[in-house]
Amino acid sequence: MPWDRNQMAERAAQELDDGMYVNLGIGIPTLVANYVGDKDITLQSENGMLGMGPFPYEGEEDPDLINAGKQTITELARTSYFDSATSFGMIRGGKIAAAILGAMEVAENGDLANWMIPGKLVKGMGGAMDLVAGVGRVIVVMDHTNKHGVSKILKRCTLPLTGRGVVDRIITNLGVLDVTHKGLHIQELAPGVTRDEMIAATEATIV
């Protein structure tokens, strides 16, 4: 049976090792924080914070303490604050070990599209282009196909790119794929999913 959202997040959490500094995107990636267990992970919020804590209790919201999704959050014992130039300096400089992000499309060469659909309202890339260009490891977590059943893992992206050749690993409801210089490689299959099912559901070539 393919993984659900929470199982995908749980699987993504296995990518994180003790001591890592990590940036989690919006959506399923946010759920990853629920599955890190005892691992000593420090979450970055790219608006200027390392050591992001959980949402505050009602009545304890602080307008000066939000995450990159503009949600009220809390701090931890390890928390540090800094300005946006410093924050993206550490992103661009490769100090963030991993980013876990959602995507609209990923191509077999590691190209990523997750910020705009031509003809639709364009809201902006925010920090997504900086993250995929800068962090040590880019892990995409998304459904394998869109709501019409069409593969989101393609030979080539059709949407405008967020980054070229940036994705290292893709975690979907069907399993885990690695982007290698030879092409996509199946790393793991969700329980009950066969290699043939994975290949059939994927437009990109799996080697």
Find the binder of another protein among 24, 90, 141, 184 (CB under 8 A).
Answer: 90
Q: Which is nearer to another protein, 61 or 203 (CB)?
A: 61
On the 0-12 / 13-18 / 19+ scale of CB atoms within 10 A, 71 is middle
Q: Which is nearer to another protein, 133 or 186 (CB)?
A: 133
Under rule CB under 8 A, residue 49 binds another protein: yes
Separation of alpha carbons 141 and 176, rounded Å: 9
Strand partners, 50: 44, 80
CB of 38 to another protein, least distance (A): 13
Q: Which two tokens stand for residue 127?
A: 């920090």
Separation of alpha carbons 16 and 3, rounded Å: 19
Buried b (16+ CB within 10 A) or exposed e, 106-136: bbbbbbbbbbbeeeeeeeebebbbbbbebbe
Sheet of 153-154, strands arranged across: 112-113, 105-107, 153-154
Find the binder of another protein among 1, 37, 119, 121 (CB under 8 A).
Answer: 121
Under rule CB under 8 A, residue 105 binds another protein: no
Under rule CB under 8 A, residue 136 binds another protein: no
Q: Taking CB under 8 A as the rule, which mask of x and - marks residues 172-201 in contact with another protein?
A: ------------------------------
Under rule CB under 8 A, residue 163 binds another protein: yes
Under rule CB under 8 A, residue 155 binds another protein: no
Under rule CB under 8 A, residue 96 binds another protein: yes
Separation of alpha carbons 62 and 169, rounded Å: 36
Known active-site residue 46: yes
Q: Which is nearer to another protein, 93 or 195 (CB)?
A: 93
Strand partners, 75: 52
Q: Which residues bind another protein (CB under 8 A)?
A: 18-19, 21, 40, 42, 44-51, 54-58, 60-67, 69-73, 75, 77-85, 87-96, 111, 121-130, 133-134, 160-165
Active site residues per annotation: 46
